């Protein structure tokens, strides 16, 4: 079924209220607020746990291995983040397409889309594993890694790239579950793999005397366990999203639909990472204290981002299902109520973080100058974090409607363009930490205004008020 056929297909509301033999998690009926919270909270916890488990890699090699190994693991973080964010963005396409078919109660379309999504994940993973190992050396040289660290960085990247198929299978499998309103299963699988990651890190480094290779292998094993658990649950799933191994093939029409939605989101994530690398370069130019303060503050404030982003991802699935079901008024209500709830949550969480900024920074360092700089960054970003709510929520709603390119382009120019331009213009004139940090709320504000305007225009065209 094509996108236009989904839009045109109308279902009798009385029939939609009947029990669903396919076992779909119907997000098109009933109360909205509780469903949104039950979906968003596990999603936010998943991102938080992922961040904590990733931090253990650096912590273990920093405490029990060499400083070169620690530098290699930490220095490869931008590359790993760029790769992961790109393919998580691509999986958004699978989420939207499957949610549309679920909303339209097209069981055949759902199963075809699930098979296409998981086949795409496997092919992408194999491609990354092969090409990544070929270009690992050039990547290390491009990053300007010091000679004493380069061998460790190269080894870590090659092992990480070898495990890419498991990472892709987990991310796309999680997208399939989210499309059906289930964010708990991916959380459970990630938690299990993450606990294994911590234990394997300690075993390989402390017992076997390994360093960066042990940490990298532990990460691959963690992703392997998480992906196997998720796929097993998907194969044994009793609902419509059950994975039938015999249907593991790519349907060209479904793939085109997924790529049209997912590729802009993936490119947005990639360019976002590149702009942040540009800002990081500017931070590095301000000295070691600023670098340390900014790094510590980032590891504190990132948890607020996970909360806000979870609501944006929630809208992708909820709007996708309801649009597929022809519930246009409910789409409007979902966006409006999710925006209010996420704004209130962000306000409360940001307020607590502003109050607790100094004690939180003391968890990382006792140096007064570093604490002061870290508190400055936290407060600048937290006072304006609610702008991020509009940016993420409106982008998520538009992706749920199948309009992924528009928010991607707005983010490209509003966030990335503003930050890169400021780094090479205003920051050079006012070479201070404050002048650099102020670019974050400015870029959020510009993007929030334009993406909200475009959402309203798209909503008025695609979601009739009557």
- pLDDT tens for each residue of 349-362: 999 999 999 998 88
33-64 and 212-235 are packed helices; what angle lies between their axes, rounded to 10 degrees?
150
Nearest to 223 by CA among 152, 154, 172: 172
- Report the distance separating Cα 170 and Cα 173, nearest Å: 5
> What value does the mean pLDDT take over residues 128-152?
78
- For 138, the enclosing helix (H) or strand (E) is helix 107-142
Which residues are CB-neighbours of 96 under 8 A, at least 6 positions away? 179, 258, 261, 262, 316, 317, 320, 399, 400, 402, 404
What is the pLDDT of the chain when averaged over all its residues? 82
d(CA 451, CA 392): 9
* Res. 270: pLDDT tops 80: no
Give the pLDDT confidence score for residue 6 in this predicted structure: 45
Give residue 21's pLDDT: 41
Task: Report the SS3 class of residue 163.
Answer: coil
Give how far Cα 151 sits from Cα of 69, 77, 79, 312, 394, Å.
Answer: 9, 16, 16, 40, 44
Q: DSSP letter string over 18-51?
A: S--TT-----SSS-SHHHHHHHHHHHHHHHHHHH
Domain ranges of the chain: 49-250, 271-466
Q: Tell me: the pLDDT tens digits for 407-432?
A: 888 988 888 889 889 989 988 888 88
Report the percent of the chain where pLDDT is more than 70.
87
Cα-only R_g, the chain: 22
Residue 22 has a pLDDT of 41
Where do we find the tokens 């397409």?
97
Residue 237 has pLDDT above 60, yes or no: yes
Cα–Cα distance for residue pair 33/265, rounded to 1 Å? 26
pLDDT reading at 450 higher than 90: yes
**DSSP state, residue 205:** I
CA torsion through residues 87, 91, 92, 97, sign: positive
DSSP letter string over 314-351? HHHHHHHHHHHTT-HHHHHHHHHHHHHHHHHHHHHHHH
pLDDT digits (tens, 9 = 90+) for 251-261: 888 888 888 88
**Residues contacting residue 202 through CB under 8 Å, at least 6 positions apart:** 60, 64
Q: Rounded to an integer, what distance in angstroms lies between the CA atom of residue 305 and that of residue 309?
A: 6
**Is residue 160 within 8 Å of 76, Cβ to Cβ?**
yes
Give the model's pLDDT for residue 67.
Answer: 62
What is the structure's pLDDT at 10?
Answer: 42
Q: Is the pLDDT of residue 62 over 80?
A: no
Is the pLDDT reported for residue 61 higher than 90?
no
Which pLDDT score, from 0 to 100, does residue 143 have?
A: 62
Instruction: Give the mean pLDDT of 146-158.
Output: 79
Q: What is the dihedral of CA 315, 240, 21, 316, to 10 degrees?
A: 10
Give the pair of three-digit tokens for residue 75.
């220095």
Model confidence band, residue 43 (pLDDT cutoffs 50, 70, 90): confident
- pLDDT of 39 > 90? The answer is no
Query: What is the average per-residue pLDDT within 186-193?
Result: 90
Percentage of the chain with pLDDT > 90?
22
Residue 282: pLDDT above 70? yes
Whether the CB-CB separation of 458 and 406 falls below 8 Å is answered with yes
């Amino acid at each position: 079924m094509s996108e236009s056929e989904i839009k045109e297909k109308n279902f009798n509301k009385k029939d939609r209220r009947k029990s669903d033999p396919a076992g779909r998690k119907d997000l098109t009926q009933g109360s909205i607020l509780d469903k949104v919270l039950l979906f968003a909270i596990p999603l936010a916890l998943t991102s938080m746990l992922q961040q904590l488990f990733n931090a253990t890699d650096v912590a273990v090699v920093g405490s029990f291995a060499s400083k070169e190994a620690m530098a290699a693991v930490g220095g490869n973080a931008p590359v790993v983040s760029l790769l992961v964010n790109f393919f998580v963005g691509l999986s958004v396409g699978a989420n939207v397409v499957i949610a549309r078919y679920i909303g339209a109660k097209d069981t055949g379309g759902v199963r075809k889309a699930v098979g296409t999504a998981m086949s795409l994940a496997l092919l992408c993973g194999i491609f990354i594993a092969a090409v990544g190992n070929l270009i690992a050396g050039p990547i290390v040289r491009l990053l300007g890694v010091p000679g004493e660290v380069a061998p460790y960085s190269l080894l870590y990247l090659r092992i990480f790239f070898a495990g890419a198929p498991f990472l892709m299978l987990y991310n796309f499998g999680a997208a399939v579950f989210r499309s059906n309103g289930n964010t708990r299963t991916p959380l459970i699988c990630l938690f299990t793999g993450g606990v294994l990651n911590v234990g394997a890190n300690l075993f390989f480094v402390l017992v076997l005397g390994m360093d960066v290779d042990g940490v990298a292998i532990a990460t691959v094993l963690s992703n392997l366990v998480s992906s196997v658990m998720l796929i097993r649950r998907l194969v044994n799933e009793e609902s419509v999203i059950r994975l039938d191994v015999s249907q593991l093939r790519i349907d060209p029409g479904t793939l085109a639909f997924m790529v049209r939605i997912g590729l802009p989101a993936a490119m947005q994530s990639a360019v976002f990472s590149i702009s942040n690398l540009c800002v990081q370069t500017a931070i590095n130019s301000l000295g070691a204290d600023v670098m340390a303060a900014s790094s510590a503050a980032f590891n504190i404030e990132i948890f607020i981002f996970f909360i806000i982003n979870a609501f944006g991802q929630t809208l992708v699935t909820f709007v996708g299902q309801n649009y597929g079901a022809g519930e246009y008024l409910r789409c409007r209500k979902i966006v409006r109520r999710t925006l209010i709830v996420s704004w209130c949550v962000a306000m409360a969480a940001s307020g607590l973080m502003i109050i607790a900024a100094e004690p939180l920074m003391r968890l990382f360092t006792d140096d007064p100058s570093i604490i002061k700089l870290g508190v400055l960054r936290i407060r600048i970003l937290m006072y304006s974090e609610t702008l991020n709510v509009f940016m993420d929520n409106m982008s998520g709603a538009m992706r749920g409607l199948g309009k992924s390119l528009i928010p991607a382009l707005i983010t490209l120019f509003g966030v990335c363009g503003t930050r890169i331009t400021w780094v090479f213009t205003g920051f050079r004139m006012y070479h201070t930490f404050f002048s650099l940090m102020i670019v974050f709320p400015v870029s959020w504000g510009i993007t929030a205004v334009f993406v909200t305007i475009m959402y309203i225009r798209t909503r008025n065209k695609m979601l009739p008020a009557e």
